[in-house]
């Protein structure tokens, strides 16, 4: 049986792939930072040689929310550069058949026309709030295409929009917007205090439920035959404001009348609408989880796992 090695396998998307893995005829191996230090080339090489993967789904990254991106730029840049360099280099050395690497729409140019598509990734600088992380991730695509060009390696990148779901990092300071708000609303309700959301609530985002992304990554591995990057996202019509995100979370807790917005905090980039027309052309029958359903499932999971989850 062919082996799929999933880096970042203990994180949000890795756990989602694990949840659906029984539907596929592969041996999956999921690894986290405790299994292998991907910032160390020798450790990465030793581990991959031991596993001998046929395919690699590369999810591992140093990630965080808006304020981690602003305050820890060196970490966000250097750690991601090292991880990506080592994974691709070793995959090339071992002649891995296909590598799917995960980028993010947050790395697209700040000043651009919308919706953004796959050809626009390098057409201007990213937003200053996450530039260090964005440039490191952009170099992952450059590096993948360099291996394509020089060696013919089947290394491609997928570009999901904002991901949410069970097994996320629910840290109040370092988590992404949805898990951080899920955690904050839980605390606020427990203390019978207002549910305070940082910023105005006006920015717009496209969110994809982690299980949906897992299914699309497996489709990319098994059925996507192009070498160009592809955006994995809900449609533009499903874009939603942070205000409505917060309302959906509060409603899931039956706490919907207690929201306040703290405009002393920056909003970050107002919008970064992604064009999923390429995905829909190739996989138009794909059905996305409705947002409110995904939020309810995420809230329920957090409540059940709040003692042991990342936070």
Given a contact cutoff of 8 angstroms between Cβ atoms, the answer to whether 66 and 172 are in contact is: no
- Strand 204-205, strand 240-241: pairing: antiparallel
Q: Position of tokens 């280099």?
A: 89
Q: Closest by alpha carbon to 171, among 65, 80, 255, 248?
A: 65
Given a contact cutoff of 8 angstroms between Cβ atoms, the answer to whether 273 and 206 are in contact is: yes
Q: Position of tokens 């097994």?
A: 167
Tokens of 260: 């306040």
Given a contact cutoff of 8 angstroms between Cβ atoms, the answer to whether 4 and 27 are in contact is: yes
Residue 253 falls in the annotated catalytic set: no
269 HSE (CA, 13 A, CB side): 24
Q: Of 26, 77, 133, 224, which one is the catalytic site residue?
A: 133
Q: Which of the residues are catalytic?
A: 133
């Amino acid at each position: 049986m062919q082996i799929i090695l999933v880096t970042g396998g203990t994180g949000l998307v890795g756990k989602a792939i694990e949840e659906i893995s029984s539907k596929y005829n592969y041996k999956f191996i999921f690894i986290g930072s405790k299994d292998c230090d991907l910032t160390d080339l020798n450790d990465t090489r030793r581990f991959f040689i031991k596993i001998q993967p046929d395919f690699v789904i590369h999810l591992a990254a140093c990630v965080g929310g808006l304020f981690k991106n602003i305050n820890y730029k060196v970490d966000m840049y250097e750690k991601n550069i090292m991880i990506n360099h080592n994974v691709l280099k070793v995959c090339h050395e071992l002649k891995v058949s296909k590598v799917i690497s995960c980028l993010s729409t947050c790395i697209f140019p700040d000043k651009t026309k919308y919706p953004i598509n796959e050809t626009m990734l390098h057409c201007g600088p990213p937003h200053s709030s996450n530039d260090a992380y964005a440039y490191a991730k952009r170099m992952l695509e450059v590096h993948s295409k360099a291996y394509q060009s020089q060696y013919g390696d089947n290394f491609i990148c997928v570009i999901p929009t904002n991901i949410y779901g069970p097994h996320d990092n629910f840290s109040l300071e370092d988590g992404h917007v949805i898990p951080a708000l899920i955690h904050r609303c839980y605390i606020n309700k427990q203390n019978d205090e207002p549910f305070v959301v940082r910023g105005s609530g006006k920015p717009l985002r496209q969110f994809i439920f982690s299980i949906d992304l897992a299914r699309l990554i497996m489709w990319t591995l098994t059925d996507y035959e192009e070498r160009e990057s592809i955006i994995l996202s809900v449609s533009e019509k499903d874009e939603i404001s942070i205000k409505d995100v917060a309302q959906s979370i509060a409603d899931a807790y039956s706490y919907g009348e207690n929201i306040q917005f703290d405009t002393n905090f920056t909003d970050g980039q107002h919008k970064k609408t992604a064009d999923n027309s390429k995905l829909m052309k190739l996989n138009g029958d794909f059905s996305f989880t409705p947002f409110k359903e995904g939020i309810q499932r995420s809230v329920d999971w957090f409540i059940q796992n709040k003692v042991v989850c990342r936070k």
